[in-house]
Amino acid sequence: MNPDQTIPTTCTMDCPDTCALDVTVREGRVVGLHGRRDHPDTAGFICEKVSRFHERLYHPSRILHPLRRTGPKGEGRFEAISWDAALTEIADRFREVRDRFGGEAILPFKYGGSNGFLGDGPVDDLFFARLGASRLARTFCAAPTGEAAKGLYGKMPTTAFEDFVHARCIIIWGANPRVSNIHLLPYLKEARRRGAFVAVVDPLRTFPAADVDLHLPILPGTDLPLALALAHEAESRGWLDRAFLDARTTGADTLLATARSWDLDRAAETCGVGAEAIRQLAQVYQKATPALIRCGWGLERNQNGARAVAAILALPALFGKFGVKGGGYALSNSGAVRLDASRLFEMPPWTTRMLNMSRLGALLQEPLAPPIAALYVYNCNPVATAPDQNAVIQGLQREDLFTVVHEQVMTDTARYADIVLPAVTFLEQREIKRGYGSYVVGGVRPAVAPEGEARPNEAVFSALAGRLGFTDEIFTWDTETLVRRMAGALTGLEGQADTYLEGGIQTAAFSGGTPIQFDTVMPRTPDERGHLAPAFLGKDPYRFEPVEAGDFPLALLSPASSKMTSSTFGEFNYPQLRLAMHPADAAARGIAQDDRVKVWNRLGEVRCPADLTDRVRPGVVVLPKGAWMKSSGNGRTATALAPAHLEPASGGACYNDARVEVAGLSSPQDAL
């Protein structure tokens, strides 16, 4: 037997940590993945799901060859065909659609959290621009936070993980680092050991009680009133940093004018927590320096999402918490390093209609002009992840819709495709992966040859471009050339192509060390000020709009779990869906532990067993994000209950505006 090989690479999963990995290869097969010890943030450990990534690599549901549908849509019956036949058919169908309806009848559909610059960006965008395809607003995640961070501070770099240890007060707001940012935990632990006060704002108890000093289990979607009440406390108690606000910000008075109507009692009643707890949070935050807010993505998933994030990001300015190491706020750092695609090629004008991905079900069924006649899905599993799952499925069943899905495993979405293309995993490809939590850019290098005939995105789009007669030079570059050219087109650090080709990681450097907001890094707004009433929020930027619950009194949350990254790993790592609910809500409905229940609203129904837990506050029930249809009793998951309305300022998805009712099912056959 040959000795094991160790291949360095970078994790590409949609996760703030962007770990440096060692992949163990034995006799040509991956047998283990480990966190590198020589990388400061990774520090020798990784999450359980990626440590098992080889189970996905070799899973029986892996797509190994191009496939053509042979049965009804959704049934999952396919025949293997050659790449040549698949690409020719796609190119022919795209040509037909374009000739008949125009290019806008073709819709590219992708997310991209688990991809790098090669697979998500220049090559595919250029391809669809040349086709004249519709553009896609990517709104499943980070649209409200992104707009708020841009609107207030121009995406100023935020506090680095390692600087959390300096904070004397840390508010973790709408984030759960225990499942999706685990490399922050050692820094949180060290901060607490040094005496930091740690508060968590989350409807769910995500930390053991011993690890936090204060937990505010607010009702879903009430983050805005809570933030406004804190702002009101700052003003009414004379804590505002007026000198800072006058010199470094605009718009504080607009925010404060709304905040004045949110005293502690009103906020407490709306948020479903005690006024005393809000007062304590305000007092601790005001007294502590440095004080830090770790703003997550959970609080954006509702119709008040962008306003809530904006109000929260305004708090460090109001309370005077910027300008010190370990102070300010932490959010996405994806803006620190960018790819300047204009250094690679000249992008033609791409001004076609913009369609919002969160409305996929409606878009596929409503009378658009032109209609969506061809759909190309990659880096995405919308049947599991798009709001209004039943509408998405109905849309994908349209016989006149030509659907291509480029995927690693046979997902719920791939089963509806006319053509399925096999995609590589990150263990079989080259990539350049930018972190959005840690300040790193990592090289992804193949540990093993692709299974079957799997190919990366850029190779497929280049091959299709050739068939459609697109002659841009970038479509002729091989993967190594793309890595080299893209490394030279990065801004924010000196991209080192050889480092990326070898699977190494670079860290973005800031003058003066890690960023200190309003000291070593400034808002990237034209006037370098913070804009606390940003234009994108409109005339009444901080108005609160409660969700109409009607006959459905329980708020449904669908948070990230430790089992999946969005829907990735759902093929093997999520055996059975369970509804988490508070024992008091269960008792009121005669539901006992493990009883089979139905969860429903006007959009759909999910059947599964119940888990009674006080980890969930009364009035809230929980189903995990990204679960596959096979994991529930009736083939429907949390997104079947999620409305498709949009957060008004950013177009973001509003999963957490789902309101539901729950009832026990008397017969086991009813549930399973």
Q: Using CB under 6 A as the criterion, which residues of the chain lie in contact with ligand SF4 when the complex forms?
A: 11, 13, 15, 17-19, 46-47, 50, 182, 565
Query: Smallest gap, in angstroms, from Cβ of residue 436 to ligand SF4?
Result: 11
Burial class (CB in 10 A: 0-12, 13-18, 19+), 669: exposed
Query: Which alpha helices (H) appear in 164-274, and where do they start and end?
Result: 177-180, 185-193, 223-236, 242-248, 252-259, 264-271
Shortest separation between residue 183's beta carbon and ligand SF4, angstroms: 6
CB of residue 15 vs ligand SF4: minimum separation in angstroms? 3
Q: Which amino acid is at 129?
A: A
The residues that bridge with 599 in the sheet, in sequence order, are 606, 662
Cβ–Cβ < 8 Å for 631, 605: no
Token reading at 634: 């009736």
Name the one residue in this structure whose structure tokens are 């509806």: 416
Residue 555 C-beta: closest distance to ligand SF4, Å? 28
Least distance from ligand SF4 to the Cβ atom of residue 215, Å: 24
Could you give the CA distance from residue 663 to residue 580 in angstroms, rounded to a whole number?
13
Distance CA 340, CA 487 (A): 10
Q: Which is nearer to ligand SF4, 14 or 241 (CB)?
A: 14
Of the pair 15, 577, the CB lying nearest ligand SF4 is at: 15
Q: Which is nearer to ligand SF4, 56 or 168 (CB)?
A: 56
Closer to ligand SF4 by Cβ: residue 433 or 531:
433
Shortest reach from residue 11's CB to ligand SF4, in Å:
3
Comparing CB distances to ligand SF4, the nearer of 11 and 653 is: 11
| Separation of alpha carbons 204 and 620, rounded Å | 9
Distance in Å, CB of 565 to ligand SF4, minimum = 6
Q: Between helices 223-236 and 264-271, what is the axis angle to 10°?
A: 170
Closer to ligand SF4 by CB, 358 or 565: give it: 565
Name the residue nearer to ligand SF4 (CB basis): 33 or 311. 33
Q: Packing angle between helix 275-287 and helix 264-271, nearest 10 degrees?
A: 120
Distance CA 96, CA 250 (A): 53
Query: Is residue 149 a contact partner of residue 370, using CB atoms and an 8 Å limit?
Result: no
- Return the number of the residue (333 or 565) whose C-beta is nearest ligand SF4: 565
CB of 372 to ligand SF4, least distance (A): 32
DSSP-derived 3-state class of residue 448: coil
Residue 16 or 108: the one with the smaller Cβ distance to ligand SF4 is 16
End-to-end CA distance of the chain: 47
CB of 503 to ligand SF4, least distance (A): 14
Dihedral of CA atoms 544, 298, 215, 274 in degrees, nearest 10, equals 20
- 11 versus 23: smaller Cβ distance to ligand SF4: 11
- Counting every residue, how long is the chain? 672
CA angle 612, 617, 619 (to 5 degrees): 95
Question: Given the complex with ligand SF4, which of 19 and 493 has the nearer CB atom?
Answer: 19
Give the shortest CB-624-to-ligand SF4 separation in angstroms: 16
Spatial distance between the Cα atoms of 534 and 311, rounded to a whole number of angstroms: 10
CA nearest neighbour of 380 among 639, 105, 95, 82: 639
Helix (H, G, I), strand (E, B) or coil at 586: helix
41 touches 460 (CB < 8 A): no
Nearer to ligand SF4, 18 or 302 (CB): 18
What is the distance between the alpha carbons of residues 42 and 163, in angstroms, rounded to a whole number? 15
Determine the Cα–Cα distance for residues 274 and 294; give it in Å rounded to an integer: 22
- In angstroms, give the least distance from the CB of 626 to ligand SF4: 13
Least distance from ligand SF4 to the Cβ atom of residue 40, Å: 13
